[in-house]
Amino acid sequence: MYNMYTLENGLRIITERIEHLNSVSVGIMIQNGSRNETEELNGISHFIEHMFFKGTKKRTPKAIVEEVENVGGQINAFTSKEATCYYIKALNTHLDLAIDILSDMILNAKFDPEEIEKEKGVVTEEINMGEDSPEDVLDDEQSKVSFGNNSLSYPILGTISKVKSFDREKILNFIDEKYTPYNSVLSICGKFDEDELKKLIEESFGDWKAKEVYKPNYTTPIIQSEAGYVNKDIEQLHISLGLKGLPYGDRNNYALVLLNNILGGGASSILFQKVREELGLCYSVYSYLQPFQGIGTVNIYTGLSKIYAPKALEVIDKEIIKFAKNGITKNQLEINKEKIKATYILGLESTSSRMFANAKNYLLKSTVFTQEQVIKKIDDIDEQNINYVLDNCFKSGVLNASYVGKDVDFNSLNNVILKDTKAYNNSLNQDKVQI
């Protein structure tokens, strides 16, 4: 059962009570990520995520994590393109502690200059670690070729030079503008007493004030038809291919999830069966969705020997064309409805998964669908939804590509996979829109 309300200061609250559990997950999600940054401040949202753990007026950095772990709980955070989330999962008997610590971190962080300098070294090593991962390098390169100069292309971690330029003043100014109760959601899922919880929330978050109401106003990019390559001394060639997707919250997203599942969502998918099982060209090949506010992409990943890359790309291209043209059978439609319903329902067995989903839906779309409503939306996927997605997402084919590997002639690979994008490029003469 969901309960949604808003405090006087503008902070939105969503709770989901599950009586039969003895745990609770609490998260504060802010609509701020790398997409909200300027080029000069790229990476500051992620850096701030780290700094909220570096001490408050009443807790040392060690005390923040120790108090949670001493009662068997878990505390963590993440930064994405469009949101940052701080969360705790614990036994429901420690709900008051979880809310107190999260509010203390968000409202009373010290941002000690010495801690800021130390954390620059930590984040620098995190960036270096990402540079050692070809998949991470590939993701960042794919964002660049997909979104051009738009802030959606910015790496979440930023760059070492940008991180080294952050100081206390820049951090506090950014927080004053972007971290407000108006663009935040507090999400709680698990076992709790509703009346007691309301009192705890008011006591902990009621005094959170903001100088101004901040609501992100994104410029929606046009998906580019470009290619990128990073030369890296590794054994495999890692490839990411980009197609049109759908924005977060689009009414046809369930149909896109279903079609993506058929194309490259598992071991029985078209791409896995053709590229790996039938031809033996790779170990890993799959497709996945990246929905953002106002825009989305479908991405295909594979890692393989560069010797096999031309053949694999040729096969992937042919399968996408065939998929877009022929569509799916009624039997495939019904089977995959059951698959995605099962995936959705299994995901609900974790309080943290439900807490994240509730927070994101309420934060970005101001609504939450019940389990019954989601199942009905899946059951209601029909031929019209399927054809809409095939026409809008797959018929254009692969629009962009990125490669990470050693001494690769990526231009010849582009000739295989990006040969039909001239007409698409000619259609990009349109004005950008605001959402």
Query: Which pLDDT score is estimated for 427?
Result: 53
pLDDT along the chain (435 residues), means of 10: 93 95 96 97 98 96 98 98 98 97 97 97 98 97 97 97 97 95 97 95 95 86 96 97 97 97 96 98 97 97 97 98 96 96 89 95 93 95 97 96 96 89 51 31
Spatial distance between the Cα atoms of 89 and 27, rounded to a whole number of angstroms: 9
Q: How far is CA 33 from the centre of its chain?
A: 10
pTM given for the model = 0.93
CA distance 20 to 327: 43
Show the DSSP H helices in 20-133 as ranges: 44-51, 61-69, 95-108, 113-131
Domain ranges of the chain: 2-205, 219-434
Decide: 164 and 119 in contact? Cβ < 8 Å.
no
In three-state secondary structure terms, 399 is: coil
Give the Cα separation of 31 and 363 in Å (integer): 7
Asked whether 9 and 203 are in contact (CB, 8 A), the reply is no
2-205 and 219-434: identical CATH topology: yes
Q: Give backbone dihedrals phi and psi of 290, rounded to 5 degrees, phi first.
A: -130, 90
Architecture category of domain 2-205 in CATH:
2-Layer Sandwich (3.30)
| Catalytic residue numbers, as ranges | 49
Predicted pLDDT of residue 430: 42
pLDDT one-digit tens code per residue, 100-143: 999 999 999 999 999 999 999 999 999 999 999 999 999 999 99
Q: Which CATH architecture has domain 219-434?
A: 2-Layer Sandwich (3.30)
- Residue 429 has a pLDDT of 44
Total number of residues shown for the chain: 435
Query: Which is it for strands 219-220 and 84-91: parallel, antiparallel or unpaired?
Result: unpaired
Q: What is the pLDDT of residue 431?
A: 36
Rg of the chain, C-alpha, whole Å:
23
Buried b (16+ CB within 10 A) or exposed e, 384-411: ebbebbbeebbebbbbbbbbbbeebebe
